[in-house]
Structure 1
Amino acid sequence: MPSPMDTPEDSHLRKVDATRWAAVASLLALVAVLLVWELGLHRSWWAIKALPLCAPLAGLLKRRLYTYRWTSLLVWPWFAEGVVRCTTDASLASRAFAGAEVALTLALFIACSLHVRTRLSHKDPA
Structure 2
Amino acid sequence: MNARRWNLLTAGSLIALILLGLAWELWLAPLRPGGSWLVLKILPLLGSLFGILRGRRYTHQWMSLLSLAYFTEGIVRATSDSGLSAQIAVVYTVLSVLLFLGSTFYSKYTAPSRLAAPSPDAQ
TM-score, normalised via structure 2 length: 0.83
Give matches, 1:1-126, under 5 Å.
15-41=2-28, 42=30, 43-90=35-82, 92-120=83-111, 121-123=114-116
Deviations 1:59-81 (A, max 9, x none): 11222111110010011111111
Q: Which runs of 4+ in 1 moved over 6 A?
A: none
RMSD across aligned positions (CA): 1.5
**1:105 Cα deviation (Å)?**
0.6
Aligned length: 110
**1:21 Cα deviation (Å)?**
0.9
| Mapped partners of 2:116, 2:22: distance in 1 | 39
Structure 1: gaps of 5 or more residues: 1-13
**1:46 Cα deviation (Å)?**
1.5
**1:44 Cα deviation (Å)?**
2.0
Percent of aligned pairs with the same amino acid? 34
TM-score, normalised via structure 1 length: 0.81
